A and B are shown apart, each in its own frame.
Chain A
Amino acid sequence: MAAVRTSSEIALNRIAIAAVIVVTLIFLAPIYWITATAFKPRNLSTTIPPTIVFTPEISPFVKLFTKRSQLRSEPTPEEYAAAPWWERMVFDGGEKIVRDGKGNVQLSGYPSRFMNSLIVAVTSTILAVGMGTFTAYGFSRFKVKGEADLLFFILSTRMLPPVVVAIPMFLMYRVVGLNDTHWGLIILYTAFNLSFSVWLMKGFMDEIPKEYEEAALVDGYTRMQAFFKVVLPEAATGIAATAVFCFITAWNEYAFALIMTNRRAQTAPPFIPSQVGSGLPDWTVIAAGTFLFLLPVAIFTFLLRKHLLRGVTFGAIRK
């Protein structure tokens, strides 16, 4: 930009600011809309014109977590008065919560799918980042024969379309009994994330001066001690950023989860869409499920925004 700011340039800058605001609002509108829908009563979710102002409700979340059935008849006033407040919201929507013989609330499929997502994403993240950190250190500090080729091989494992890998994996898993198990998905996601983890961690490792370890070696540490006590603490922010990336990828994965799981180990991404069905879906419940599922990713994005920027552009802008 020129050093002298002319009046036309200031005007141009104002137009640019206005345009940026408009673009940002357009980009955020879908996310806002799904959030708003998650807090609407059902009868306001599909109105035209769309309902902008409404009293937020948590009934979609109650419905999301409980197994429900249509009310055959209106609840008696006594029943209604005896029900807890959250159950009354379901009554008001023309449904009742299903209970088992002992009177316990029956949960819907969502909580277990959410837990499956959590188990699979967290475990595979720990494995991928752990192995990736060691391997990145190995590549960063030692002479490795054919290093460029090996690194390219590692990266190339991520370039295949998931469906291409899924067919033989499905057959192999069927033989060894890993279909529809947590470990089956964990192994797949670890393999998938490992390449990324190695590449990203190598970037972080290369930036830690090797003089740090050499000083530790002079102080009488073994190489392993130097790695654990000097290098790992230095790499902590890099490890955190890589972990969040691996978590987000595993958390969001759909194709493998769709093919490799059906009930026991199914994660949320194939489950939520399967709830839409063919009739008139309750979009508030689907929006609530979506909102809860997006929440961890949104929080991570904000907490680690500076590191994420680097991870997103990984390798591409490094000279």
Chain B
Amino acid sequence: MSTLDPKSRAASRGMSDITIRNLFIIPTILFLIVFNIFPLIYSLGYSFTDFRASGKADWNFVGLQNYRELLNDPFIWSNFSITAKYVIVSVVGQVVVGFGTAMLLNRDIPMKGLITTLLLLPMMLSMAVVGLFWKLLYDPSFGIINYALGLGTFEWLSNPDMALYAVALTDIWMWSPFVMLLSLAGLSAVPKHLYEAAAIDRAGPLYTFFRITLPLVAPILMIAIIFRTMEAFKTFDLAYILTSQPTTEVISIRLYKMAFQEWQTGRSCALAYIVLIMVLAITNIYVKYLNKVKER
């Protein structure tokens, strides 16, 4: 990356470079502080109160009570464990399908560009709208999925044991292409001569895959995994639209209900902070691995 000298010749004409730099950067930083950091400070204050945004009732400072109650609430922990289960199922599914497709595509396939573009489409769509049309596809009596798989009137969304997997399946459909794209980029960067050397050594395909392909693709695959983990952790739209099972109540839905249906504003701000800390923890892992890839 190149940097210009702020005291260059041009500084004598028109605005100085430092003025231009500040003019270009500071408004954006301020805007983001006002609309991201300020609301978070605002809600940190509310998280120590029993404020309810619905009524005109007085509110009191309750200290750490919200946090204490939330952390001792088994229902909240079950929301977290549902979220964890959802994240694992959907991310593992996306890696298997996405990486598998990338392995298939990493050959002399005709119309590779067109196929890659077509596979981009699901991830460009609105999760809410995708959720809606998968509801139609999953319908037990006239859905195309049951018909195509010969499942009769199998219940996908109203069966509590199945619903979370149904949501994850839709997420896998939407986001496997993302894992595929990153894997494809990683696979195409593996030097060809390594494979040639392996062929001369008469290495088997399994050996080639585990000793050459996988280690070299692993860093970029890791990035795809962390990206998708963070996104799956935030899931709201898809699960909220597709089904309203207690077994699919991921933490974002719990948070939404607490804040905008039960109007426990103070308490929901505290829960938001607990979620925030978890996201920061995941983000740290992400940055750690991002740096690892950069060092490579």
Contacts and interface: CB of A to CB of B under 8 A. Distances in A.
Contacts of B28: 131-132, 134-135, 154, 194, 198
Interface string A49-90: 110000000000000000000000000000000000000000
Q: Of A170, A187, A206, which is in contact with the most chain B CB atoms at under 10 Å from its CB? A: A170
Given A168-B43, A273-B132, A255 B237 contact: yes
Given A152-B287, A276-B135, A138 B127 contact: no
A169 interface: yes
A144 B255 contact: no
B220 A139 contact: no
Given A17-B110, A273-B131, A297 B32 contact: no
Interface in A141-185: 141-144, 150, 152-154, 156-157, 159-172, 174
Contact of B109 (A20, A194, A213): A20
Interface in B95-145: 101, 104-105, 107-110, 113, 115-129, 131-137, 139, 141-142, 144
Contact of B132 (A138, A153, A290, A297): A290
Interface string B13-43: 1110110110111011101100110111011
A188 B3 contact: no
Contacts of A227: 20
B91 interface: no
Contact of A16 (B6, B109, B294): B109
Interface stretch (A23-31, A107-115, A234-242): A23-31
A20 B132 CA distance: 27
B252 interface: yes
A313 B174 CA distance: 16
Contacts of B25: 134-135, 138-139, 144, 150
Given A20-B115, A31-B121, A191 B31 contact: yes
Interface stretch (B56-64, B68-76, B272-280): B272-280
A119 interface: no
A223 B36 CA distance: 32
B101 to A, nearest CB: 5
A172 B142 contact: no
A91 interface: no
B248 interface: no
Contacts of B260: 170, 259
B243 interface: no
Nearest to B254: A163
A98 to B, nearest CB: 25
A34 B42 contact: no
A12 B234 CA distance: 40
Given A30-B173, A313-B185, A293 B126 contact: yes
Interface of A: 1-3, 13, 16-17, 19-20, 23-24, 27-31, 33-34, 37, 46-50, 131-132, 134-135, 137-144, 150, 152-154, 156-157, 159-172, 174, 187-188, 190-191, 194-195, 198, 206, 209-210, 213-214, 217-218, 220-227, 248, 251-255, 259, 268-270, 272-273, 276, 283, 286-287, 290, 293-294, 297-298, 300-302, 305, 308-309, 312-313, 316-317, 319
14 contacts: A28-B118, A33-B133, A131-B28, A142-B3, A142-B18, A161-B255, A167-B268, A167-B272, A191-B35, A191-B36, A210-B4, A298-B121, A305-B117, A305-B120
